[in-house]
Chains A and B, each alone.
Chain A
């Protein structure tokens, strides 16, 4: 079985500052990793995913995440945040090639302050 840890439940940051949201996972098999974003009163939207290949993956709105197998991490970063990035961010993992359910972390609430 897989599990996901997001150590920071809330991250306040000023606009245009860099941010890192941490995600660690545990699994006995190879995994696929995902970051989802949830804006208030909405469903989750896929932000980016790691399946294979390059360990650095990017989203269209400036976020990036790096898969680090030795540290079992998939931290999300953005060099300069905007007010509109305020949302809840969920890291998720699923076993590669086994088609099992997704396991989500508890979420990190990013608050971007003016």
Chain B
């Protein structure tokens, strides 16, 4: 069981470029969560998805950010026209069903640096 796989682990982009972060959930998990961790800050919820559906995107910035979890393939967090303030660690977590009694299993994170 490979766990939650995130790639790339490190990504460097210049201002205005696009960043794509990928997350493959644990085998058997159908729910994916994305969190952002800014330096010296805690985890901030961004979006919660299940296959082909966005369940809750209340933590997602209204512009430039989007997420998807297609029927086949990994979940993708996409940031368009990146700015320096987007520099952060982005963590993906997965659960087998609605989180609650089930726990979240986290990936190792993708660290985005915007120059």
Q: What residues of chain A have their CB less than 8 Å away from a CB belonging to chain B?
A: 6, 32, 34, 36, 42-46, 49, 51, 90, 94-107
Contact = CB atoms under 8 A, between A and B. Distances in A.
B108 interface: yes
A106 B56 contact: no
Interface in B79-112: 91, 93, 97-101, 103-109
Given A96-B100, A99-B98, 11 more contacts: A43-B4, A43-B106, A44-B91, A45-B106, A46-B103, A98-B98, A100-B56, A100-B99, A101-B45, A101-B59, A102-B104
Interface of B: 4, 33, 35, 41-45, 48, 56, 59, 91, 93, 97-101, 103-109
B108 A42 contact: yes
Contacts, number: 64
Given A43-B106, A44-B106, A100-B56, A107 B42 contact: yes
Contact of A51 (B91, B101, B105): B101
Contact of B41 (A42, A98, A106): A106
The 4 closest A-B CB pairs, nearest first, are: A99-B98, A106-B42, A43-B106, A104-B43
B38 to A, nearest CB: 11
Give the one of A6, A96, A102, A104 with max B CB within 10 A: A102
